Structure formats: C-alpha cells, structure tokens
A and B are shown apart, each in its own frame.
Chain A
Amino acid sequence: MEKATSLVQIKGIRDGLLAAFTAAAWDDLCFALLAQIDERPSFFQGARLAIDVGSQILKVNHLVDLRDRLSERNVSLWAVIGESPTTEHTAQLLGLATRISKPRPEETQRADAAEDTALYINKTLRSGKRVEFPGHVVVMGDVNAGAEIVADGSVIVWGRVRGMIHAGAKGDRTATICALDLSATQLRIATEVSALLKPQKSPKPEIASINPEGHLQSEIWHTG
C-alpha cells in the first residue's frame, strides 16, 4: 500500500481524475494504479481517468492493456499526457486525448518552431483520424472522408483529399493546401472556409490559397 501510493499519485481535476506516474517500471506503475483502484472500487466506479506518464515511452500494447484492465474496473481512460512524441503518437492512435483542459507550458515553445517544422505522415488518413500540428503537414497517401488535418502552416497531400483540411489554423493567411486531387468536403485557410465539392472526372493537382480579394480559391497546379 505504502509503495502503491508513492508510485502513482491520484488527484481530482476538473475533467475527472488524474494519475501522475513516477519514473518507475511500467508494469509496476500499472500494478500500483490498479491496486489503488481495487482498494476503493466504489470511489473509482465510472470514473474518467487521465494519466500523466512523464517521459515514459509507451507503445500501443502497453496502453491497450492498461485501458482494458481499467475498463474491466469500469474506469475509462480518456487521456494520456506524456513528454515523449512516441507516447503522444500512441495515444492519438488509440483515440485518447493528449492534453487536458489546462494547457501545458510546452505549447508556446512549440509554436515558435512552427515556421520550419513539418509533420510527415507516410500513410492514408482514414475516417475519424484527426491530425493537429503546429507547423506544416505532409501526407504521402490519401485523406479519406471523415479525416481531419489542422495545421498552423501549409498542408501538402500526395494523394486524394476527401476529408477536411484547415491550414494556417492560427491565422496565417499565406498558408496553402495542395493535393493531387483536391475534392475535399471542406477546406479552410485561416478564417476562410470553402466547401469546394466538385468531384472531377480526371483530377489534376491543385493548390488552394487565399486570393488578393480575400477569398479561398483553388486552381490547377501549373509548373514553371
């Protein structure tokens, strides 16, 4: 008991409970957390739990296992906060939040790097997938209907776009969106919104930007 509480600190936050993990072995941490829950099952019944894993690097099987064991105890894991990009990526894959309502201080540092960093995604984004990035986003693959990309910079898709793309999300009106086939359900650049919806018979690469009149428009890509 003594050991369990010192490994994992559980406290109440606005969105439910937050368990802060110390830097111990993952299995021990899970064990300690579950032990605490088993000790007071009525308190944890139906709780929404976020975990702060610090610098732990977690793979999908780690989190799936913990989530399942929590769900057996009727505790729903909804957020995983961590410093490692791998952990953050894993959490996103599983549809878990990676931030809780209180913004973390790192966010501001990230914004500075926005100008010259890009997120490279080497697969098709399927329905339900949401990618948010404080820089540019490059996708090698399609963006299917129901997927969303929100980038502070520009978005380039080497494939078809059927989902929603928001470039310049923090207000950059010079951001652009380009794709091999741009028949998105909706495009947004900064505050401009455009529902293009014109499936083409023979799609050509297009680039969407805000024109001098201030409207979002897309045009066929011309080289040179």
Chain B
Amino acid sequence: MHQLNISAAAEGDVNPLVPNGWEMLVVFVGFAILFFIVVKYVVPMFEKTFAERAEAIEGGIAKAEKAQAEASAALEEYKQQLTDARTEANRIREEARAEGAQILADLKEKAAAESARITAQAHAQIESERQAAVVSLRAEVGTLATTLAGRIVGESLDDDARAARVVDRFLADLESQNAGAAK
C-alpha cells in the first residue's frame, strides 16, 4: 500500500477537484503552442495535399469527361454533316432532274416553233410564188390569147381596155368552169 501512500502524499490532502494553478498554466501554454503549430503548419500542409490530390483525381476525371464530350460532339457534327451532304445530294439530283425536264421541254417547244415557222415560211413562199405565177400567167395568157384571137378574128384588138375586159371575162369563165370541175 505504500505506493498509494506516496501518491496520496504527493497529492497532499487537497481535494482532487481543486486544480493546481501552475499545472493549469502549463496545460494552457502547451495547448496554445500545439494549437499554433497545428494552425500554422500541420493543417495547411495536409489540406494542401488533400486539395492537390482531389484536384489530381477530379482533374483527370474532368479531362476524360471533356475528351468524351468533345468526341461525341465531333461524332454528332459528322453525322450532321453526313445528313446535310445527303440532303444536298438529293436536292441537287432533284434540281438536275427538273432542269433536264425543263431543258427537254424548252427544246421541244423550240423545235415545234421552228418547224411551225419553217412551215409558215414555206407556205408564204409557195403562196407568193403561186401568186407571181398567176399574175405572170394571166398576163402572158391574156397576150397570147389576144394575139391568137386577133389573128383568128382578124380584128385588131389593140384597144387595151376592151382586150383586158375580154380577157378577164374569159378567165372568169375559165375559173368558174374550173371551180365547177373541181366540185
């Protein structure tokens, strides 16, 4: 029991709840020094490492996520471009087809117009030649007939006005006969 007695002697007879002022001071100062070191060095150093580590990990993840996002964006862009290109190709094809049809129609129309024009020209030429032939024939036939008739009748039919009237009447008779024959 003597150890306990030594302890009790060291404690004295004081109530254990009554503190020793010097001990309190030492604990206070010791704790203050420790707290200062912790605030000044320990916590900042550990926090710095934690932050760096978190950044290293999160940075890697963020980088990977960014690469992923970029890749999918590129893919999306390529898909979009492909779709655009397809649409464009279709559009061009449609346009070409429409244009071809248009050109064909134009050409047809032009050809038709040309042929019509040529036909009309030919008609006109034929008509004018026929007219010219009729005129020249009328004059020649009139002269020939007059001469012939004059010779036959022996009568001078030089009087132009009369001769013309006779020729006209003759021709009119001829035409009416022709018309009747044609009918």
Answer yes or no: are A and B bound together in one complex. Answer: no
